[in-house]
Amino acid sequence: MTDAPDATDAPIQARLDEFAETYARIRREVRRVIVGHEEILEGVLLCLLTEGHAILEGVPGIGKTLLVRTLAQALDLEFRRIQFTPDLMPADITGTNVIVEAEGGRREWEFRPGPIFANLLLADEINRATPKTQSAMLEAMQERSVTVAGTTRHLDEPFFVLATQNPLEMEGTYPLPEAQLDRFLLKLLMRMPGRSEISEIVDRTTGAHVPRAEKVADGAVVLRMRDLAREVPVASHVRDYAAALVLATHPDRDDAAPLAKKYVRYGAGPRAAQAMVLGGKVLALVAGRYNVALQDIRHMAPPALRHRIIRNFEAEAEGVDPDRLIADLVDHVPEPGEA
C-alpha closest to that of 243 among 265, 268, 221: 268
Using CA of residue 170, residue 173, residue 179, residue 180, what is the dihedral sign?
A: negative
Rg from Cα positions in the chain: 21
Q: What is the pLDDT of residues 17-37, one digit of tens each?
A: 999 999 999 999 999 888 888
Query: Is pLDDT of 1 > 60?
Result: no
Is the CB of residue 253 less than 8 Å from the CB of residue 329? no
Lowest mean pLDDT across 13-17, 47-51, 164-168, 302-306? 164-168
C-alpha closest to that of 95 among 40, 152, 143, 48: 152
Domain 233-339 class?
Answer: mainly alpha
Rounded-to-integer distance, Cα 329 and Cα 264, Å: 12
Domain at 1-231: CATH code: 3.40.50.300
Q: How far is CA 288 from the centre of its chain?
A: 22
Q: Report domain extents, the chain.
A: 1-231, 233-339
Q: What is the pLDDT of residues 109-132, one digit of tens each?
A: 878 888 999 999 999 988 888 888
pLDDT score, position 186? 96
- The pTM (predicted TM-score) of the whole model is 0.88
Integer CA distances (angstroms), 296 to 25, 41, 43, 166, in order: 21, 17, 13, 29
pLDDT score, position 229? 95
pLDDT score, position 165? 84
pLDDT score, position 37? 85
pLDDT score, position 292? 96
Average pLDDT over residues 322-339: 86
pLDDT score, position 6? 53
Looking at the chain, how many residues does it have? 339
Q: What is the pLDDT of residues 247-305, one digit of tens each?
A: 999 999 999 999 999 999 999 999 999 999 999 999 999 999 999 999 999 999 999 99
Query: Is pLDDT of 184 > 70?
Result: yes
* H, E, C per residue of the chain: CCCCCCCCCHHHHHHHHHHHHHHHHHHHHHHCCCCCCHHHHHHHHHHHCCCCCEEEECCCCCCHHHHHHHHHHHHCCCEEEEECCCCCCHHHHHEEEEEEECHHHCEEEEEEECCCCCCEEEEECHHHCCHHHHHHHHHHHHHCEEEECCEEEECCCCCEEEEEECCCCCCCCCCCCHHHHCCCCEEEECCCCCHHHHHHHHHHHCCCCCCCCCCCCCHHHHHHHHHHHHHCCCCHHHHHHHHHHHHCCCCCCCCCCHHHHHHEEECCCHHHHHHHHHHHHHHHHHCCCCCCCHHHHHHHHHHHHCCCCEECHHHHHHCCCHHHHHHHHHHHCCCCCCC
Is the CB of residue 300 less than 8 Å from the CB of residue 265? no
CA torsion 186→320→126→280, rounded to 10°?
Answer: 0
Q: What is the pLDDT of residues 75-113, one digit of tens each?
A: 999 999 999 988 999 889 988 888 887 777 778 887 888
Residues 6+ apart with CB under 8 A from 299: 279, 280, 283
User: Pick the residue with more confidence: 237 or 338?
Assistant: 237
pLDDT band at 320 (very low <50, low <70, confident <90, very high): very high
CA torsion 54→58→63→66, rounded to 10°?
Answer: 30
pLDDT score, position 7? 46
pLDDT score, position 129? 87
Range picked from 58-67, 89-98, 173-182 for highest mean pLDDT:
89-98
pLDDT score, position 168? 65
Q: Give the mean pLDDT of the chain.
A: 87
Query: Is pLDDT of 338 > 50?
Result: no
